């Protein structure tokens, strides 16, 4: 939350303390599998329709949590079922499937990167307090966020292996995966900690 708020600030110098974390996070983000879903949904529990007129081009500077499932959009984590709401349908190729890393696994969560450049294609007000905005990712006028590494090396570094991806995970007994303690409290002489 704090990082996303900072990413949205006009004063980019406020991001300086986050640079190392962002490099690490973006490196991991770009190595995640690209979402097979090119249409994702995002819900906000307020009326944002005035900020997104048809034809507007803009960048979303924060990481944006979306879902590939229309039914999940009604979740309180996204849109909910009542009150002023804005539902975005977003056509994108930049989403990363984070379902395996998300606390809410059954919400089909897709994460959009900071600096994604979008255009408002159309707007609709299908019901009182519900606003729908159709967005499409477009090429930005200039590079919005520098890549954390040379992305052309990504395919060489992480080849897609169907045998590994489709391999059934084995179940190990809990005792086999329980980590040993890293530090014992105090050594026998009571002075120094022992490291395993």
86 — phi, psi (to 5°)? Answer: -125, 125
Q: Is pLDDT at 96 greater than 90 in this prediction?
A: yes
What's the pLDDT at 113?
A: 94
Q: Which residue has the higher pLDDT, 178 or 137?
A: 137
pLDDT in tens, 104-117: 777 889 999 999 99
User: Which pLDDT band, with edges at 50, 70 and 90, does 146 fall under?
Assistant: confident
Which CATH number belongs to the domain containing residue 25 in this structure? 3.90.176
Structural domain boundaries, residue 119: 2-195
What share of the chain in percent tops pLDDT 70?
Answer: 77
What's the pLDDT at 35?
A: 86
Number of domains in the chain: 1
pLDDT in tens, 36-69: 889 999 999 999 999 999 999 999 999 999 999 8
- pTM for the model: 0.72
Q: How many residues does the chain have?
A: 196
Residue 137's alpha-carbon distances to 15, 28, 174, 189, 195, in angstroms, are: 24, 22, 45, 64, 51
What's the pLDDT at 101?
A: 84
Q: What is the Cα–Cα distance from 59 to 112, expressed in whole angstroms?
A: 11
Sheet with 85-91: list strands edge to edge: 57-60, 116-127, 130-137, 85-91, 39-44, 64-67, 109-112, 96-97
For residue 134, the tally of other CB atoms under 10 A from its CB is 18
pLDDT in tens, 15-30: 999 999 999 999 999 8
Q: Is pLDDT at 8 greater than 50 in this prediction?
A: yes
Q: Is pLDDT at 136 greater than 50 in this prediction?
A: yes
E strand or H helix that includes residue 82: none
Residue written as token pair 């009182």: 128
């Amino acid at each position: 939350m704090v990082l996303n708020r900072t990413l949205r600030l006009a004063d980019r110098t406020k991001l300086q303390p986050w640079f190392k974390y962002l490099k690490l996070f973006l490196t991991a983000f770009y190595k995640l599998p690209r979402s097979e879903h090119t249409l994702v949904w995002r819900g906000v529990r307020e009326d944002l329709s005035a900020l997104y007129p048809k034809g507007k081009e803009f960048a979303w500077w924060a990481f944006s949590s979306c879902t590939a499932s229309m039914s999940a959009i009604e979740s309180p984590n996204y849109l909910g079922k009542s009150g002023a709401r804005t539902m975005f349908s977003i056509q994108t190729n930049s989403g990363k499937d984070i379902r395996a890393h998300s606390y809410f696994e059954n919400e089909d969560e897709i994460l959009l990167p900071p600096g994604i450049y979008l255009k408002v294609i159309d707007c609709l007000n299908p019901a009182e307090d519900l606003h729908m905005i159709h967005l499409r990712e477009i090429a930005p006028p200039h590079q919005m966020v520098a890549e954390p590494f040379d992305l052309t090396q990504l395919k060489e570094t992480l080849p897609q292996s169907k045998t590994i991806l489709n391999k059934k995970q084995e179940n190990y007994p809990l005792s086999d995966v329980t980590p040993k303690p890293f530090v014992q409290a105090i050594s026998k002489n009571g002075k120094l900690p022992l490291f395993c």
